[in-house]
């Protein structure tokens, strides 16, 4: 993300990664939900959190919010607005905590911070859907959905953390220069003149 003459310009890489991560969130609709005693468990949270682990808060909000909205356009159209806000905030908050709150750079223990941030994101999702269902269906309906949402968040955190940190996925992206440089594109965005991500 470049800023020239106080106008933010999104780089082609930023746009491509945001679009790709949004598409991956939508693509999880092709994976069958898992029925449990608590309800059906969907896979969407794993891709929302993966976007939050890899991208900046704005990109993570778009991926989580718009991706989940498009997902619900097929599964549950009546929940699209709530999904946009809840999963958008989930992605943005997790990304902001992981990338902006010290310590920003961790070596072997980054996954621990990522999990802690993702748990906070999970609280946002569980509380958000509890509030939404309390308003639309009553408190008893909202309470009944808590267990399913908690299981779904644990599943999502496990998937995202495994893909990002238990494999070489993130390291390979960084090694080959395929991951947007968070420091240059976001933190330095308050500079008056940045050209192609360089001061």
> For 94-99, which contacts have Cβ atoms below 8 Å and span 24 or more sequence positions?
94/49, 94/52, 94/53, 94/60, 94/118, 94/120, 94/121, 95/51, 95/52, 95/53, 95/55, 95/56, 95/57, 95/59, 95/60, 95/61, 96/57, 98/52, 98/53, 99/56, 99/57, 99/182, 99/186
User: What integer pLDDT is reported at residue 14 of this predicted model?
Assistant: 83
Q: Where are the domains of the chain?
A: 2-188
User: What integer pLDDT is reported at residue 99 of this predicted model?
Assistant: 87
- pTM for this entry: 0.83
Give tens-digit pLDDT for 60-90. Answer: 999 999 999 998 888 788 989 999 999 999 9
Residues 86 and 125: beta-carbon distance below 8 Å: yes
pLDDT in tens, the chain (199 residues): 544 444 455 677 788 889 999 999 999 877 877 877 767 788 889 999 999 999 999 999 999 999 999 988 887 889 899 999 999 999 999 999 998 888 877 767 889 999 999 999 999 999 999 999 999 999 998 998 899 999 999 999 999 999 999 998 888 887 887 776 665 555 444 444 443 444 4
Query: What CATH number labels 2-188?
Result: 1.10.1760.20
């Amino acid at each position: 993300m470049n800023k020239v003459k106080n106008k933010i310009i999104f780089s082609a890489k930023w746009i491509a990664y945001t679009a790709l991560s949004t598409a991956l969130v939508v693509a999880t609709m092709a994976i069958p939900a898992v029925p449990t005693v608590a309800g059906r468990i969907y896979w969407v949270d794993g891709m929302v959190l993966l976007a939050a682990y890899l991208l900046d808060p704005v990109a993570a909000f778009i991926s989580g919010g718009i991706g989940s909205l498009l997902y619900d356009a097929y599964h549950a159209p009546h929940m699209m607005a709530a999904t946009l806000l809840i999963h958008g905030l989930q992605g943005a908050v997790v990304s902001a905590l992981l990338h902006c709150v010290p310590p920003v750079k961790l070596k072997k223990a980054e996954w621990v911070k990522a999990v802690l941030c993702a748990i906070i994101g999970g609280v946002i999702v569980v509380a958000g859907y509890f509030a939404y269902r309390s308003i639309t269906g009553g408190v008893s309906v909202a309470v009944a959905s808590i267990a399913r949402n908690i299981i779904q968040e644990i599943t999502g955190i496990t998937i995202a953390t495994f893909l990002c940190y238990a494999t070489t996925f993130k390291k390979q992206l960084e090694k080959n220069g395929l991951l947007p440089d968070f420091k240059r594109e976001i933190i330095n965005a308050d500079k008056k003149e940045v050209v192609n991500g360089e001061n």
